[in-house]
Structure formats: structure tokens, C-alpha cells
């Protein structure tokens, strides 16, 4: 009753086209425009894998969907990062968790490590979007999320407007390991929101590799394509 009244007074809107909807976040039409990858079928032929394997020697690399500007996925990612809507992260994390469970990935990883935010950015944002996504996946796959094994020591500038070479320079040495025992001899799954050049994942991944995990894999929500 209260829920219906609240819906009447404050109707939920699609975050992309602003149509009034019953469900969360996106209307059916906008949801259908999201282009999901087949990375779960070919986790060593993906864009994510190709961008990271030389530097990190990852076991598998998967992105849930392709990132396209001016589309519903951009609105979704924008709201997840800047719109104080952490539940978008758990929602899509569960969705991807279901897919990975169906393809038996639940035994492939021992621990999930979301790319950490610097504590100042965490304070302004209120949550880590990559943690929320990992948490959603964890609800389905029952793989623990380790939030405090790695920290971000420098509050790096946003990467989005930087050219490729600067992106790598910008995040160099930006991460530090706090608890190597959470990593050593584990099948580690590193989680990020979007992979573009891979600079952030490579910088963080290199620190993780110093702690001798059994192996390292990567999952991202989006993969940016030119
Ligand atoms: Zn819509």
C-alpha cells in the first residue's frame, strides 16, 4: 500500500528515456539496446583479455557488455558512478552472476577484488561502483569479495579525457597491497567498471601479481570500443 502510494507520488522513471516504469532503472525498450558480449563463451578471445594479457598474463578476461556513447548503457554507467544509485551495481552484478553461474564459473575464482577508489573519492561518492557490481555477482556465485586487500594511494584525475600514454602515466603506482594473504595462492578475480586502454587494471593487477596469486582474471561491466 505504502509502496503504491510512493510510486504514485514519485513514479520511477527509466534513467535513459525518462518514461515512467514499474521495474527498476531501465524500460524494456532501453534495456534491449544494451549489447551484451559473448566473452563468457570465449574468455581468452575477448577485447578485455587482449588488452591485458601481455602485461598481466591473465587467465580469463570478460566484459558483460559493450560501452556505446549516447545509449542506455552510458546512462546506466553514469548513474552508477555519479548518480548515487549503488543498487544499479548490484542489479547488473546479479544479472552477470546468473550468466556466469549458468556457464559454471563459480569454481574458477576464490576471491573477487574490486578496483579500489581513493578514500577521498569514496567519501564524495559514498560507495565504490566496482564493489557494488562485485557484491551483486557474489550474491549469486558465492565467491567472497575482498574490499580491503588493495588500496588506492593516489587520488588520480579522471581518465576519461586523457590520451592513451597519459592514462598509463596517471595511474602508475596508484595502488598498494594492504593484505597479501588475501591474494597469495588464490584464483583472484579483479573487477572494474569499464575497460578502455586497460591502464588502471594493469597498474592494480601488477601489484596483485607481486603477491603471487595462483592466477589472475578480470571481469568488467563494460568494454569501450572505438
Ligand atoms: Zn527507456
pLDDT in tens, 116-139: 999 999 999 999 999 999 999 999
C-beta of residue 223 within 8 angstroms of C-beta of residue 63? yes
Assess if residue 78 is contained within a domain.
yes
Task: Confirm whether 21 is domain-assigned.
Answer: no
CA 133 to chain centroid: 6
Q: Is 46 a member of any domain?
A: yes
CATH of the domain at 220: 3.40.50.2020
Distance from the alpha carbon of residue 19 to the mean position of ligand 1, in angstroms: 6
Phi/psi for 83 (5° steps) reads -105, 15
Tally of structural domains, the chain: 1
Say how many Å lie between the CA of residue 118 and the centre of ligand 1: 33
Q: Which long-range contacts (CB under 8 A, 24 or more apart) does 68-73 make?
A: 68/35, 68/225, 71/16, 71/33, 71/34, 72/16, 72/17, 72/26, 72/30, 72/31, 72/33, 72/34, 73/33, 73/34, 73/35, 73/222
Q: Report CA(30)–ligand 1 centroid distance (Å).
A: 4
Q: How far is the CA of 13 from the centre of ligand 1 (A)?
A: 8
Q: Within a domain: residue 23?
A: no
SS3 151: strand
For residue 65, the enclosing domain spans 36-224
pTM (2 decimals)? 0.93
Give pLDDT tens digits for 30-43: 999 999 999 999 99
Q: How close is the Cα of 138 to the center of ligand 1, in Å?
A: 28
Amino acid at each position: 500500500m505504502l509502496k503504491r502510494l510512493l510510486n504514485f507520488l514519485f513514479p520511477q522513471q527509466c534513467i535513459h528515456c525518462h518514461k515512467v516504469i514499474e521495474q527498476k532503472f531501465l524500460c524494456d525498450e532501453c534495456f534491449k539496446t544494451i549489447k551484451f558480449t559473448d566473452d563468457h563463451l570465449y574468455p581468452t578471445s575477448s577485447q578485455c583479455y587482449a588488452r591485458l594479457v601481455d602485461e598481466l598474463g591473465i587467465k580469463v578476461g570478460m566484459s558483460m557488455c559493450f560501452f556505446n556513447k549516447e545509449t542506455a548503457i552510458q546512462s546506466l554507467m553514469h548513474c552508477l558512478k555519479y548518480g548515487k544509485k549503488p543498487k544499479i551495481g548490484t542489479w547488473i552484478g546479479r544479472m552477470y552472476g546468473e550468466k556466469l553461474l549458468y556457464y559454471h564459473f563459480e569454481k574458477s575464482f576464490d576471491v573477487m577484488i574490486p578496483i579500489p577508489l581513493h578514500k577521498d573519492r569514496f567519501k564524495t561518492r559514498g560507495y565504490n561502483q566496482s564493489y557494488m557490481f562485485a557484491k551483486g555477482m557474489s550474491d549469486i556465485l558465492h565467491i567472497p569479495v575482498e574490499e580491503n586487500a588493495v588500496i588506492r594511494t593516489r587520488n588520480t584525475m579522471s581518465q576519461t579525457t586523457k590520451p592513451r600514454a597519459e592514462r598509463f602515466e596517471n595511474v602508475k603506482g596508484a595502488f598498494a597491497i594492504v593484505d597479501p594473504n588475501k591474494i597469495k595462492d588464490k584464483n583472484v578475480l579483479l573487477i572494474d567498471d569499464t575497460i578502455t586502454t586497460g591502464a588502471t587494471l594493469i597498474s592494480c593487477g601488477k601489484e596483485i601479481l607481486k603477491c603471487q596469486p595462483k592466477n589472475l582474471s578480470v571481469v568488467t561491466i563494460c568494454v569501450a570500443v572505438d
